[in-house]
Amino acid sequence: MDKPLGPVRADVRCVLPDSAFLGEGPHWLTAERKLLWVDILAPAIHVSDPATGKSTSVRMPELVSAVVPRVRGGYVAAMQTGFKAVDLTTGASTMLASPEADRPGNRFNDGKCDRRGRFWAGTLAIDATPDAGSLYRFDADGRVHLMDTGFHVSNGLGWSPDDRRFYFTDSARRTIYVYDFDLESGAIADRRVFAEIPEGHGVPDGMAVDSEGFVWVAQWDGWCVVRHDPDGKVDRVVNLPVPRPTSCAFGGPDMTTLYVTSARIRLSAAQLADSPLSGSVFAIETGVRGLPETAFAG
């Protein structure tokens, strides 16, 4: 987990100083101009204003890994036990679907909505049992579909601008996969490797896809965010002042700011002294427009 060569860029700013154990799931709320994000392990949902650095937070009763707004109002979260409706005023939650009720040792991890408002999220074993994770699609009609299975650590996901590709990450295998995607049906097919991350370069975590079809990936233990071209090749590396960036999302007034969450979990006192901003949220001015997030249609 040595620092990469090269300085942290001048266009990287800490906009939300925090000490999140496992910051994750950034989602830009366009109308409010605020960032929705979570701390998985000290379970809480945050709504933050990067312009002022102020946040409102609500504690959750169980692990929470991703939250999206609902078209009808309110929010839906991927939580330890399933997809739940959540009230960010009271912290109350209501189960909507629990596809792994028979697997109490699993939890949901990263998730987001496709352009039709279907909520996709993957699972993993809390004790890190290999191949125990699966990928699910939660539709507006309340039905859940098992889309693929056999993953070790389900993680970052996203879609190409033309909605013909779906990306999904297995962090434990250091691999980002790409599938053919059908927007109308929500089907995926022909899983293949998009990018494999070599040892010593961090672990691929959460991602965001920009309007040019390039894929930005937070590199856990890599001190950076990497931009891959549509063929999977590395196009750009942006160094960060923290070792464990976890995920990223485009936002800001013109959708060119990449917000990056981070973690401080399992860092030693010496490592934290070297990276005191671990657990904070950073902003990278990319010069590239991102794609707006989609709310859950149900």
The Cα 241–Cα 224 span in angstroms is: 8
Look up 139 and say whether it is catalytic: no
Contact present, 94 and 84 (Cβ < 8 Å): yes
Whether the predicted pLDDT of 1 surpasses 60:
no
DSSP assignment string, 231-266 = TS-EEEEEE-SSS-EEEEEEESTTS-EEEEEEB-TT
What phi and psi, each to the nearest 5 degrees, are found at residue 270? Answer: -65, -40
Task: Decide if 121 contacts 88 (C-beta within 8 A).
Answer: no
d(CA 63, CA 141): 25
User: Are the CB atoms for 63 and 84 separated by under 8 Å?
Assistant: no
How far apart CA 38 and CA 126 sit, in angstroms, is: 18
Kindly indicate the confidence band of residue 9, based on its pLDDT and cuts at 50, 70 and 90.
low
173-198: pLDDT as tens digits? 999 999 999 999 999 999 999 999 99
Q: Where are the domains of the chain?
A: 12-285
Report the C-alpha gap between 255 and 170 in whole angstroms.
Answer: 27
pLDDT at residue 65 is higher than 90: yes
Distance, CA of 95 to CA of 140 (rounded, Å): 14
Examine the pLDDT at 58 and tell me if it is beyond 60: yes
The predicted model scores a pTM of 0.97
Q: Residues 77-85: what's their mean pLDDT?
A: 97
pLDDT of residue 277: 97
Question: Over the stretch 128-142, which tens digit does the pLDDT of each residue have?
Answer: 999 999 999 999 999
Structure confidence at residue 105 (pLDDT): 96
Which residue among 205, 229, 254, 274 is the active-site one?
A: 205
pLDDT band at 7 (very low <50, low <70, confident <90, very high): low
Element (H, E) at 32: none
Q: How confident is the model at residue 163 (pLDDT cuts 50, 70, 90)?
A: very high
Alpha carbon distance 248, 216 (integer Å): 8
Model confidence at 275, pLDDT cuts 50, 70, 90, reads: very high
Quick one: pLDDT band at residue 2, thresholds 50, 70, 90?
A: low
Contact 146, 138 (CB under 8 A): no
pLDDT category of residue 5 using cuts at 50, 70 and 90: very low
Higher-confidence residue: 290 or 7? 290
In whole angstroms, give the CA distance from residue 253 to residue 139: 30
**Closest listed residue to residue 66, CA positions, set 245, 261, 223:** 261
Distances (CA, A) of 265 to 3, 79, 131: 18, 19, 23
Q: What pLDDT, on a 0 to 100 scale, did the predictor assign at position 6?
A: 55
Q: Is the pLDDT of residue 8 over 70?
A: no
Q: What is the dihedral of CA 228, 234, 238, 244, to 10 degrees?
A: 80
pLDDT at residue 11, rounded to an integer? 79
Residues 226-261: tens digit of each pLDDT: 999 999 999 999 999 999 999 999 999 999 999 999
pLDDT (mean) for 23-36: 97
Domain 12-285 top-level CATH class: mainly beta
